[in-house]
């Protein structure tokens, strides 16, 4: 791009008619970089709308459309910070040089059965968003399990037996949702399915519950993640491990909100980076 100060210093004589034509062309070009209209979502978070104004886009640009599904983790509960979906949309704008639109339909307390129900109706705004989606993220499964069971010594000694029925039901319910997402979004959409660092509390907050709770919740989390990973891959989606990245530094407390249950701002940034890398948006 030419230096604007230098350009103004040039002495150029242009006939009046030509000057008017140039002025009109400049105004039209400026319109290419104007702000896009806002996106309205039915989820609890405001949509992030990328702005083409930052980039010299050559004509109309197809936006990157990100749909976020799942429970309170992607909904951004307990953190007054940008959720990982919002951060991913910003990364997509920078990486693709196209506007990015985020539709966040995540709901606190949602289970795998609840997600399947959310996806089942036709003609909803969610279905319309999925039909346009280029990337879909799914974080679901933790609310299928009763955290009170993790504090029972009998459940620790029996491994995952206390959660057996719910563990057995998770793959089928999740697979139904992933198949529905694929059918709506089409074969070219990226479908990214995350696991969990813990389906219950973690870090210092979990440690205060005692060793039985810590060990039981960790055993269950690894079993849940294994089932989510197998189901995602069988459905043609990409599985994103969160257990290793959150636990790799030892105590994950800095990555958690004060409730010990949801990600902190640092946790959302980490998840966003993992998703961006998996989707090729880095």
Q: Rounded to whole angstroms, how far apart are CA atoms 89 and 67? A: 10
pLDDT averaged over every residue in the chain: 83
Examine the pLDDT at 252 and tell me if it is beyond 60. yes
Examine the pLDDT at 20 and tell me if it is beyond 90. no
Examine the pLDDT at 22 and tell me if it is beyond 60. no
Q: Rounded to whole angstroms, how far apart are CA atoms 124 and 21? A: 46
Do the domain assignments include residue 133?
yes
Looking at residue 58, its pLDDT comes to 39
Looking at residue 60, its pLDDT comes to 54
Q: pLDDT digit string (tens) for 201-231?
A: 999 999 999 999 999 999 999 999 999 999 9
Do the domain assignments include residue 147?
yes
- Domain that residue 109 falls in: 38-278
Do the domain assignments include residue 259?
yes
Question: Three-state DSSP class for 256?
Answer: strand
Looking at residue 62, its pLDDT comes to 80
Residue 271: exposure state from Cβ atoms within 10 A (0-12, 13-18, ≥19): buried
Q: Which residues contact 251 (CB under 8 A, 6 or more apart)?
A: 203, 204
Read off the pLDDT of each residue in 73-95 and give the average, rounded to a whole number: 97
Read off the pLDDT of each residue in 95-101 and give the average, rounded to a whole number: 93
Examine the pLDDT at 155 and tell me if it is beyond 70. yes
Do the domain assignments include residue 1?
no
Looking at residue 281, its pLDDT comes to 86
Q: Which range, of 47-56, 139-148, 249-258, 263-272, averages the lowest pLDDT?
A: 47-56
Model confidence at 92, pLDDT cuts 50, 70, 90, reads: very high
Do the domain assignments include residue 16?
no
Query: What are the strands of the beta sheet with 135-139, ordered from one edge?
Result: 100-104, 64-70, 135-139, 190-194, 238-240
Domain count, the chain: 1
Q: Rounded to whole angstroms, how far apart are CA atoms 119 and 179? A: 10
Q: Rounded to whole angstroms, how far apart are CA atoms 245 and 197? A: 8
Q: pLDDT digit string (tens) for 104-143?
A: 999 999 999 999 999 999 999 999 999 999 999 999 999 9
Do the domain assignments include residue 7?
no
Q: Rounded to whole angstroms, how far apart are CA atoms 267 and 254? A: 8
Read off the pLDDT of each residue in 141-165 and give the average, rounded to a whole number: 96
List the beta strands (DSSP E) in the chain.
64-70, 100-104, 135-139, 190-194, 238-240
Do the domain assignments include residue 3?
no
Read off the pLDDT of each residue in 227-240 and give the average, rounded to a whole number: 98
Q: pLDDT digit string (tens) for 31-65?
A: 322 222 223 333 333 333 332 223 233 345 689 99
The CA–CA distances, whole Å, from 233 to 130, 179, 208 equal 20, 12, 36
Do the domain assignments include residue 99?
yes
CATH number at residue 182: 3.40.50.1110
């Amino acid at each position: 791009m030419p230096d604007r100060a230098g350009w103004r210093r040039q002495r150029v004589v242009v006939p009046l008619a030509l000057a008017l034509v140039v002025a009109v062309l400049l105004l039209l070009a400026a319109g290419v970089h104007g702000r896009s209209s806002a996106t309205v979502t039915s989820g609890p978070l405001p949509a992030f709308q990328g702005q083409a104004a930052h980039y010299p886009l050559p004509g109309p640009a197809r936006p990157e459309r990100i749909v976020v599904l799942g429970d309170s983790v992607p909904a951004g509960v307990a953190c007054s910070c940008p959720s990982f979906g919002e951060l991913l949309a910003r990364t997509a704008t920078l990486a693709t040089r196209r506007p990015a639109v985020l539709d966040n339909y995540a709901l606190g307390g949602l289970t795998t059965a609840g997600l399947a129900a959310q996806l089942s109706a036709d003609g909803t705004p969610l279905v319309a968003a999925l039909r346009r989606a280029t990337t879909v993220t799914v974080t679901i499964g933790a609310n299928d399990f009763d955290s009170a069971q993790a504090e029972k010594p009998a459940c620790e000694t029996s491994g995952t037996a206390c959660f057996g029925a719910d563990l057995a039901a998770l793959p089928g319910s999740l697979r139904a949702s992933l198949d529905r997402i694929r059918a709506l979004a089409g074969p070219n959409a990226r479908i990214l399915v995350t696991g969990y660092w813990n389906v219950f509390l973690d870090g210092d907050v979990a440690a205060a519950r005692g060793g039985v709770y810590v060990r039981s919740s960790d055993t269950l989390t690894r079993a849940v993640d294994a089932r989510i990973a197998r189901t995602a891959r069988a459905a043609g989606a990409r599985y994103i491990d969160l257990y290793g990245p959150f636990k790799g530094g030892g105590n994950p407390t800095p990555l958690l909100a004060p409730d010990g249950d949801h990600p902190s701002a640092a946790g959302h940034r980490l998840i966003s980076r993992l998703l961006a890398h998996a989707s090729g948006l880095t």
